[in-house]
Structure 1
Amino acid sequence: MTVHESVVDAIGGTPLFRLARLGAGLAAPVYAKAEFLNIGGSVKDRAALSMVLAAERDGLLRPGGTIIEATSGNTGIGLTIVGRQRGYRVIACVSDRSAAEKSDILRAYGAEVVLAPTAVPAEDPDHLFNVVRRLAEEIPGAWLANQYDNPANPDAHVRTTGPEVWEQTGGRVTHFVAGVGTGGTISGTGAFLKKASGGGVTVIGADPESSSYAGGDGSPYFVESIGHFLHPDTAEDRWPESYHREAVDRFERIPDRESLLTARRLAREEGLLAGPSSGTAVAAALRVARRLGPEDLVVVLLPDSGRSYLSKLYSDDWLRRWGFLEEPRGAEDTEPTVRAVLDAAGFHAGAVAGVGTGPGAGRPGGPVTVASDASLAEALAVLRAVPGGIAPVVLARPARPYGISATEVLGSLSAAAVERAVAEGRAAPDGPVTSVLGPALPTVGVGQPLSEAREALGPGQDAALVLADGRAVALVHRSALGSWAGSVGRGA
């Protein structure tokens, strides 16, 4: 048995597992590198150790100093383990969209956790990156790790991850698949494998469908820790220096639902409890392997543990609420779902009374919406034309080819509220919609039973947004929901 003098010595050396069940029927074998078996539960332990050692070597981090980092969780955990072992104070600034488990883990290891938003323009002083820069300037002896631009991040994978993959496969690896977050993992590992193979290894980036790395619109997605989100009000779209574009030969773009459900299959069929970005990577690897032969060998990197996502990815209720899960709860579950009601009512043909449909979502069948930069007069023209006179107000974005993310909904607006505000002199017709903005409408997932959908409406709301894959696909009115429930109950 291996004996270590410190947990830091256990970073790296992770095993490969063949995906025999998910890869059944494929000519090319697919092996998963289980980075969640690192001591801190993720591949980011490697970068964390590399960055701390480089900072000490370069005199940037001195005894008694403070490590500060912006993180979705994993790099912060790695830095906390390494930093606390070496006597440093650690402040982890975590995205407010990260799973709550990550903040709990950080605190357990001794980090001070500061939550900050990322769904705001990059120039906003409250943005996560600006918060960490401000703390680094204010705290004496502080060092900002800055994984996004720190060369020690990709270098960790040139020195460790790449050589491990090459040695473990006996130099037989032909395709390497990984997600792109900061870009350090795929850049460093890919660079080593390309050099070791004389250019024979193809490196594939696995990216959320709407991420701008692979050409998406940069709108929000639901897979944590990878991809590139772009707020529409951000003045400059700046990509990480840790990401070396030349290291990636091509991308596979994976929808959120495929990522999340593939990760769940990975746990149930292969016994590997990994996070959602692992689902993205495995889905991409399986696509790649289907086009290959027995002489090829695919290695896919699983970045982190599913234990950090028990309240999200591995929660059936969470998946149903956001419209990612539609399978029945069990054989005895015969209650109609929101999806069944919409289909029965001809929603896809655009003929459902009580459901606002139109081009506002950027794809057929999406709900009519009001953009946040519209005037009240423009909004009123839209509201008077939709059933019920109510619509969600969404973050203005030039194009929405993937639909409206539920996270982009800022509130709601009704024709009655606008007309009243203008008549009473509280708002002008050319004024902004935000001056009369109402609360966001309740949401229901397409896979939720009708009883839950009616409960979600509550006593004070007349409509709810229906979500599929985290994106708004319909606006359901209370009266219509009741009539559909009756129709479906009668076998219509």
Structure 2
Amino acid sequence: MTGQSILDVIGGTPALWLDRMVAARGLDGRILAKLDYLNPGFSKKDRAALGIIELAETQGALHPGQTVVELTSGNMGTGLAIVCGQKGYPFVAVMSRGNSVERARMMTALGAEVILVDQIAGSVPGQVSGADLAEVDRVAQQIVAERGAFRADQFHHVGNAQAHFETTAAEIWTDSAGTVTAFADFAGSGGTFGGTVAGLRAKKAQVRGYVVEPEGAAALSGEDVTHADHPIQGGGYSMATLDFLRGTSVDGYLSVTGEVSRDIARALAREEGIFGGFSAGANVAAALELLAGPEKGGVVAVVICDSGLKYLSTDLWD
């Protein structure tokens, strides 16, 4: 792929069959891993960032030179820093101090103004809760009002899910030669799950969709939240509803512990050479569980959401 701008090479990421991992565990079926950590910003959020900004431009909601503001765990902020930098929009990323420092440094290097928000009392560094996110959202709203800015609003802006409908789903379908039977994804904004499942079902209505959540914070499945703090950054915020899941049939919910996510992320690096983050470990752990259960003999697609380079200051690689 050759482009005139870095924006031209967002998406179109390679995919890899995780046959080594599946065979080593004696499972029946296949896992297709979409390597979105190879996007320019090292995460799947580059797709959503480009989708939101370009749709806002088309709709006239974003004006030339206007400031863009968004709350982020770091990945959407990195994507927006790249997109806004190329298009000439000042960008302000608002992020909890509970997220890894690599993310803030990367956004700053890409030209973003980064505002770090203290965690609420009792929160654990490295473990961002829904309450922490709510405080980040409050600060983001305040900055939008003060600066007359455009809010990218990844939890609600249709450009998020639309990007995954148009690109991620289409690529997974092609990468799997139309053999994919299920898609599983760790829920953050829900845009990847909602958009990708809808896109895959437009190709084949029988494709099943599974939402992945942290154990103890599986609010979307209807469970009581007993452990809102967890190390799987970028999602699992104990939200009972997500806009992008409304109207999308969910075939099942899986919960994964931080420990299992960590172990599988490390196994991905050793066994498959994939240097992904915590949520990549959660997604592959869920896919392995599915092949041992309801998707035995099937083809489960997952996204490797971001790079392990964003977690060097955490215990993921200790």
Unaligned regions of 5+ residues in structure 2, if any?
122-128
- SS of the residue corresponding to residue 255 of structure 2 reads strand
Q: Does 1:162 align with 2:131?
A: no
Instruction: Note if contact 2:14-2:35 (Cα within 8 Å) is conserved in structure 1.
Output: yes
**TM superposition score normalised by structure 1:** 0.59
- SS of the residue corresponding to residue 289 of structure 2 reads helix
- SS of the residue corresponding to residue 69 of structure 1 reads strand
Instruction: Note if contact 1:213-1:227 (Cα within 8 Å) is conserved in structure 2.
Output: no
Task: Please state how far the C-alpha of 1:229 moved relative to its aligned partner.
Answer: 3.1
Partner of 1:136: 144
Matches within 5 A, 1:37-56: 37-56=38-57
Task: Please state how far the C-alpha of 1:119 moved relative to its aligned partner.
Answer: 4.1
Which amino acid is the alignment partner of residue 18 of structure 1? Answer: W
Unaligned regions of 5+ residues in structure 1, if any?
231-236, 317-492
Q: Label 1:119 to 1:153 Cα distance change in 2 as closer, same or farther (>3 A).
A: farther
Partner of 1:306: 308
CA separation in 2, counterparts of 1:125 and 1:94? Answer: 8
Q: Does 1:33 align with 2:34?
A: yes
RMSD of aligned alpha carbons:
2.0
Task: Please state how far the C-alpha of 1:151 moved relative to its aligned partner.
Answer: 1.1
What is the CA deviation profile of residues 61-98 of structure 1, one whole-angstrom value per residue up to 9, with x for unaligned ones? 11111110000000000001000000110100012111
Greater gyration radius: 1
What is the CA deviation profile of residues 181-212 of structure 1, one whole-angstrom value per residue up to 9, with x for unaligned ones? 000000000111122112x1111111110121
Task: Please state how far the C-alpha of 1:248 moved relative to its aligned partner.
Answer: 2.2
Q: Label 1:59 to 1:113 Cα distance change in 2 as closer, same or farther (>3 A).
A: same
Partner of 1:5: 4
What is the CA deviation profile of residues 219-249 of structure 1, one whole-angstrom value per residue up to 9, with x for unaligned ones? 211110121236xxxxxx6x33233363421
What is the CA deviation profile of residues 116-150 of structure 1, one whole-angstrom value per residue up to 9, with x for unaligned ones? 1454798999810010111001103x101010111
Q: Label 1:3 to 1:312 Cα distance change in 2 as closer, same or farther (>3 A).
A: same
Matches within 5 A, 1:227-376: 227-229=236-238, 239-244=241-246, 246-291=248-293, 292-294=295-297, 296-316=298-318
What is the CA deviation profile of residues 382-418 of structure 1, one whole-angstrom value per residue up to 9, with x for unaligned ones? xxxxxxxxxxxxxxxxxxxxxxxxxxxxxxxxxxxxx
Q: Label 1:172 to 1:13 Cα distance change in 2 as closer, same or farther (>3 A).
A: same
Instruction: Note if contact 1:147-1:242 (Cα within 8 Å) is conserved in structure 2.
Output: no
Q: Label 1:310 to 1:125 Cα distance change in 2 as closer, same or farther (>3 A).
A: closer
CA separation in 1, counterparts of 2:178 and 2:305? Answer: 22
Which amino acid is the alignment partner of residue 2 of structure 2? Answer: V
Instruction: Note if contact 2:2-2:9 (Cα within 8 Å) is conserved in structure 1.
Output: no
Partner of 1:226: 235
Q: Label 1:119 to 1:281 Cα distance change in 2 as closer, same or farther (>3 A).
A: farther
What is the CA deviation profile of residues 444-489 of structure 1, one whole-angstrom value per residue up to 9, with x for unaligned ones? xxxxxxxxxxxxxxxxxxxxxxxxxxxxxxxxxxxxxxxxxxxxxx
Partner of 2:126: none
Instruction: Note if contact 1:157-1:185 (Cα within 8 Å) is conserved in structure 2.
Output: yes
Partner of 1:57: 58
Instruction: Note if contact 1:72-1:98 (Cα within 8 Å) is conserved in structure 2.
Output: yes
Which amino acid is the alignment partner of residue 3 of structure 2? Answer: H
CA separation in 2, counterparts of 1:99 and 1:9? Answer: 28
Q: Does 1:99 align with 2:105?
A: no
CA separation in 2, counterparts of 1:183 and 1:8? Answer: 23
CA separation in 1, counterparts of 2:281 and 2:120? Answer: 23
Instruction: Note if contact 1:209-1:216 (Cα within 8 Å) is conserved in structure 2.
Output: no
Task: Please state how far the C-alpha of 1:169 moved relative to its aligned partner.
Answer: 1.2
Which amino acid is the alignment partner of residue 177 of structure 2? Answer: G
RCO comparison, higher one (Cα < 8 Å, 6+): 2
Partner of 2:215: 209
Task: Please state how far the C-alpha of 1:179 moved relative to its aligned partner.
Answer: 0.8
Instruction: Note if contact 2:183-2:302 (Cα within 8 Å) is conserved in structure 1.
Output: yes
- SS of the residue corresponding to residue 21 of structure 2 reads coil
Matches within 5 A, 1:425-436: none
Partner of 1:67: 68
Task: Please state how far the C-alpha of 1:216 moved relative to its aligned partner.
Answer: 4.3
CA separation in 2, counterparts of 1:242 and 1:249? Answer: 15
What is the aligned counterpart of 1:174 among 154, 170, 181?
181
Instruction: Note if contact 2:260-2:285 (Cα within 8 Å) is conserved in structure 1.
Output: yes
Q: How much identity, in percent, do the aligned residues show? A: 36
Instruction: Note if contact 1:81-1:109 (Cα within 8 Å) is conserved in structure 2.
Output: yes
What is the CA deviation profile of residues 356-391 of structure 1, one whole-angstrom value per residue up to 9, with x for unaligned ones? xxxxxxxxxxxxxxxxxxxxxxxxxxxxxxxxxxxx
Partner of 2:124: none
Q: Label 1:49 to 1:221 Cα distance change in 2 as closer, same or farther (>3 A).
A: same
Q: Label 1:315 to 1:21 Cα distance change in 2 as closer, same or farther (>3 A).
A: same
- SS of the residue corresponding to residue 19 of structure 2 reads coil
**TM superposition score normalised by structure 2:** 0.91
Instruction: Note if contact 2:41-2:78 (Cα within 8 Å) is conserved in structure 1.
Output: yes
Instruction: Note if contact 1:187-1:247 (Cα within 8 Å) is conserved in structure 2.
Output: no
Q: Label 1:246 to 1:189 Cα distance change in 2 as closer, same or farther (>3 A).
A: same
Partner of 1:367: none
Structure number having the greater helix percentage: 2
Partner of 1:78: 79
CA separation in 2, counterparts of 1:190 and 1:126? Answer: 27
- Residues 188-197 or 280-289, more deviating: 188-197
Task: Please state how far the C-alpha of 1:57 moved relative to its aligned partner.
Answer: 1.4
